[in-house]
C-alpha cells in the first residue's frame, strides 16, 4: 500500500529538471497551517531545510516562519523533558521508599518519553540531513508535480487524499485514502482519475509485510501472525515518478484550504510479491509525464496504457532500520 516513502524535496532542482513553477504561496500556507495546528513534524525535515538559504523575498518569509516554528517546537520538547524528568525523579524516590506498581510504571514510561523527547529535540536541531529526513507517512506532506493551465507546478500536498465532497469526519472514517488501488480507480476515485493527476518523485518505499511471508514459510501451529517493515528501492538507485491522484479541499473547520494526494498502487512485480507483499506503487516513464499530467477523461484506454507501460526497474528490499 506504500504506507511510507522516501521522497525528493529539492524544489530548486525540480525547477531545473522538470520545468516546474514552485507554488511558494502554497508552501507558506502549508508551513503556517502546520505550525498553527501543532502538525509541525508532519512536514519532513528535508522539506524544511530546503529553505535554510532563501533565494528570494518569498523564500525569506518562509524561512522566517520555519525558524520561529522550529523554536516553538523545541520549547515543546524541552517542556516535555522537564516534565518527564520530574516524573522520573518522583518515581525513583517512591521506589526507594516502597516499591509499587505505579512507581515502576511511572519510571518506565517517563524513561521512554525522555528518550523520545531527546531524540526529537536532537533531530530538530541538527543541520546535517539523514536519509530518513525525507521519509513520509500518511498525513505527512510531500512535493507533488501537477499541471494547471498548461504549466507544470510543484505543490506541497498531504499524503492522504481527501476525496471531493468529503468532510474531515468522512476522512476519519476512511483513513486509507493514501492508497488508490488501480482496480478501483473508475469507482471510488472516479472524480479524480482522468482529471487530476500528479507525480511524486520518490527514491524508495516501505511496506508492512507478514513475517512468515517475508520468511517464505507457513505459520506454525498456534503462532500469531507477526509483522516486519521492508524497504524497497530500485536497483540501480534511481528516481521513481510515482503516479498519483490529487484533490483540493476548500476551507473547513478552520483548517484552511489544502491539497492532498494518493499514490496509485497495482499488482506487484515478481520480486515484490516474492518478498511477501501484494501491492506496489506505479512508476511511470518520464516520456509519459506530459500525457499523465494532462489526461483526456474521454480516453481511459490511453490513460491505462501509461500505467501499463511503467518504468522498467527491479526492486531490491531489506528489513527497514
What is the residue extent of each domain of the chain?
A: 4-26+131-319, 64-125
Separation between Cα atoms, residue 210 and residue 224, nearest integer Å:
10
Amino acid 316: pLDDT: 96
By the 10 Å C-beta count (0-12 exposed, 13-18 middle, 19+ buried), 55 is classed as: exposed
State residue 165 phi and psi, 5-degree precision. 90, -10
State how far the alpha carbon of 91 is from the alpha carbons of 25, 47, 79, 114, 293, in Å.
49, 40, 18, 14, 58
Amino acid 237: pLDDT: 95
Separation between Cα atoms, residue 102 and residue 287, nearest integer Å:
62
Residue pair 276/284 in contact (Cβ under 8 Å)? The answer is: no
Alpha carbon of residue 240 to chain centroid: 15
pLDDT in tens, 99-110: 899 999 999 999
Amino acid 2: pLDDT: 79
Separation between Cα atoms, residue 24 and residue 60, nearest integer Å:
11
Place of cell 525513583: 92
pLDDT in tens, 176-190: 999 999 999 999 999
Sign of CA dihedral 245, 155, 136, 247: negative
CATH class in words for 4-26+131-319: alpha beta
CATH code of the region 64-125:
1.20.58
- What is the overall mean pLDDT for the chain? 94
Determine the 3-state secondary structure of 138 from DSSP.
coil
Separation between Cα atoms, residue 25 and residue 30, nearest integer Å:
9
The DSSP bridge partners found for residue 5 are 136, 205
- Strands (DSSP E) contained in 118-162 are 135-136, 141-148, 151-159
Separation between Cα atoms, residue 184 and residue 188, nearest integer Å:
6
Separation between Cα atoms, residue 68 and residue 94, nearest integer Å:
39
State residue 92 phi and psi, 5-degree precision. -70, -35
Which residue positions in the chain have pLDDT lower than 50? none
Q: Give the 3-state secondary structure percentages of the chain, helix then strand then coil, rounded to 5.
A: 40, 25, 35
Place of cell 484506454: 301
Amino acid at each position: 500500500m506504500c504506507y511510507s516513502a522516501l521522497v525528493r524535496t529539492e524544489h530548486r532542482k525540480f525547477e531545473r529538471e522538470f520545468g516546474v513553477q514552485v507554488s511558494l504561496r502554497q508552501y507558506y500556507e502549508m508551513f503556517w497551517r502546520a505550525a498553527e495546528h501543532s502538525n509541525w513534524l508532519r512536514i519532513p525535515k528535508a522539506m524544511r531545510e530546503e529553505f535554510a538559504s532563501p533565494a528570494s523575498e518569498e523564500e525569506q518569509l518562509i524561512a522566517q516562519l520555519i525558524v520561529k516554528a522550529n523554536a516553538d517546537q523545541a520549547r515543546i520538547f524541552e517542556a516535555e523533558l522537564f516534565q518527564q524528568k520530574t516524573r522520573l525523579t518522583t518515581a525513583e524516590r517512591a521506589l526507594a521508599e516502597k516499591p509499587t506498581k505505579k512507581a515502576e510504571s511511572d519510571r518506565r514510561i517517563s524513561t521512554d518519553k525522555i528518550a523520545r523527547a531527546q531524540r526529537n529535540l536532537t533531530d530538530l536541531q541538527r543541520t546535517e540531513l539523514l536519509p530518513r529526513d525525507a521519509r513520509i507517512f500518511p498525513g505527512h506532506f510531500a512535493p507533488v508535480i501537477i499541471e494547471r493551465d498548461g504549466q507544470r507546478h510543484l505543490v506541497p500536498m498531504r499524503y492522504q487524499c481527501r476525496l471531493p465532497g468529503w468532510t474531515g469526519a468522512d476522512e476519519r472514517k476512511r483513513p486509507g485514502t493514501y492508497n488508490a488501488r488501480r482496480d478501483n480507480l473508475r469507482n471510488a476515485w472516479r472524480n479524480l482519475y482522468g482529471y487530476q493527476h500528479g507525480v511524486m518523485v520518490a527514491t524508495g518505499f516501505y511496506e508492512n509485510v507478514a513475517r512468515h511471508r517475508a520468511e517464505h514459510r507457513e505459520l506454525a501451529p498456534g503462532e500469531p501472525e507477526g509483522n516486519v517493515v521492508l524497504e524497497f528501492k530500485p536497483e540501480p538507485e534511481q528516481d521513481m515518478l510515482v503516479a498519483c491522484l490529487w484533490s483540493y479541499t476548500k476551507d473547513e473547520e478552520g483548517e484552511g484550504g489544502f491539497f492532498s494526494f494518493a499514490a496509485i498502487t497495482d499488482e506487484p512485480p515478481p520480486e515484490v510479491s516474492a518478498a511477501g507483499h501484494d501491492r506496489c506503487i506505479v512508476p511511470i516513464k518520464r516520456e509519459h509525464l506530459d500525457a499523465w499530467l494532462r489526461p483526456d477523461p474521454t480516453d481511459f484506454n490511453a490513460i491505462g496504457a501509461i500505467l501499463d507501460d511503467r518504468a522498467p526497474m527491479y526492486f531490491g528490499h531489506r528489513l527497514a532500520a
